[in-house]
Structure 1
Amino acid sequence: MNTPERFTLDSGTDIPLLWYRGQPVLTFALIDRVHQRTDGRAKKTFYENRDRFIAGEDFHLVDFAQRSEFRTFGIEVPPRGLTVVTESGYLMLVKSFSDDLAWQVQRQLINGYFRARRIEATPPAGLPNLFPGADQPPTARLDAALLRELRLISPALAQVYLVEMGITPEYVAGVLDRRGLALAATTAPNTAAGTAAVMPNNAAPLHYLRERLDRMADFSTAAVWIFLPDTWAAVCQPYDARDTLIRLRELGYLLCAPNRFTRQGPRQPNSRRRPACYHILKRLAKQPTAATVETAPSTETTA
């Protein structure tokens, strides 16, 4: 029996009905479970075709700060975030599943799971509404005074507040699109004159990184900031960490070995271990001018 919190397939498999930003979503683990696939199959398929999925439309990256919302369903959000797929992302992901069970499960999820309607709780008479403006556009929910205070305390807190109120990159892009406008295209210098490389869709803006790199780095030298992978994922939130690395590499701000993003970090205390880390050049902190053309550093440069 299906309830507002659970969904049961004809096979008897019972899964939680997950909601994110007002729509039903699925995790990779849930997709593997309902399709009776080996653990990790859906995730592997997603990352093999990552460039075909659009952030904010086919999938979302749930921030670690929202872990309490998913914990009620028995789902843990790791520090690096949790990827969830929408209806369109699910359909793209299971295109290669062609067995009889896959066809049955797809029909049930599309006609049932993704057609579910969320039942919003109504506060009893006489009690204040703790979530005013839930039916209003995101800009109408903002408290300007609170936003100013948060910006004075920490830009990161202000960023979290905006995201919680619904002011996300996808929302901004949608508003501009409806008004016939578009975000300025981001390009990178290329070795061939007159050409430009297209940047990844969900890379963190440089001004956003400049506010966070120095205070969040795990290690630092005169020339570079050094980040462990989990720390780097936290730095880039709510943007995609890998897309951001690709962008920095194209712009010449990432010091890396050939064919991979990482280099060895400092030796750990009381250990010979030198973990794989991301090395970001500190010249990123300097605002580049229009006349300056950044070139990629040699991979032989020492940190």
Structure 2
Amino acid sequence: MSVQIGNIDLGEFPLLLAPMEDVSDPPFRYVCKQHGADMMYTEFISSEGLIRDAAKSLKKLDIFEYERPIGIQIFGSDIEHMREASEISTKANPDLIDINYGCPVKNVACRGAGASLLQDIDKMVAMTKAVVEGTHLPVTVKTRLGWDDNTKNVEEVAMRLQDVGIKALTIHGRTRSQMYKGQADWSLISKIKKNPLIQIPIFGNGDIDSPEKAAAWRLEYGVDGMMIGRAAIGYPWIFREIKHYFATGEHLEKPTFAERIEACRTHLVKSIEWKGPKTGVFEMRRHYSNYFKGIENFKEYRAKLVTAGTFDELDDILNELERNPRFASPAPVMEV
């Protein structure tokens, strides 16, 4: 049975790419879509930035046809500004609007946005209602279990946000106080999914980093789909590997060294196309160590990649890597 968000058909058990600040931009989304991500989101976008026409915020509204279905994720602390941000985001023509009630970092959560709203459910409900009223598109939400271990209130959140019109809920299995530490707890996510009063899709997020874990947790927790974040950084193959394991119970072969180079080069080209030659090259530097993580004797080339200043230089390094007999056979690779 297909999972539906409004009129969006996501198939039987969708794998979603998590919105990640400074990571899930259009170039990164391109390679993840190539390797099986069923739905993706922009980096989270400040409602204040959108209202002020801030260039950085407006740039994050860029979406492309090949990315669909895609959601624009917004965050903020002012209810009316969030309504306005949903109206602005709708004009960029995404498939849905997502609200971030999960970001735990200080400069978001301590300014009344992101996971901070878990401390004020009434305000969260009012804000969500305003966003729903500000767009004709489906509205979804991403949040956490609660602010801390003493306030795991996501059950109340799920019920009340469903009542004001959200069409799906993604739950990260940690509290805000946990940040990204410790193990994600999916038991409460499962409890919400199994509540007969909950009629919207429930997606689980947190610690999905292998096909076996995805398959086991799909069975154990009964969620409608999974959102994958950090495990996809430098390893977009995680989506296809999980899907293959679901379908066959067998592991797909790990990407060859040549496939890693191909994905890295594609990401680089898309980065330059979207950001321009200077910024595109500079901001790609954070990705090289992830694409080649686990490759033996790679330190020398990693240093070359992060210091090269032009596409031509980088292309020469990647071509040299392709010809290097040390890496010619399928390389030893990490277990993601």
> Structure 1 length as normaliser, TM-score?
0.32
> Structure 2 length as normaliser, TM-score?
0.29
Larger Cα-atom Rg = 1
Which structure shows the bigger proportion of residues in helix conformation? 2
Greater relative contact order (Cα < 8 A, sep 6+): 2
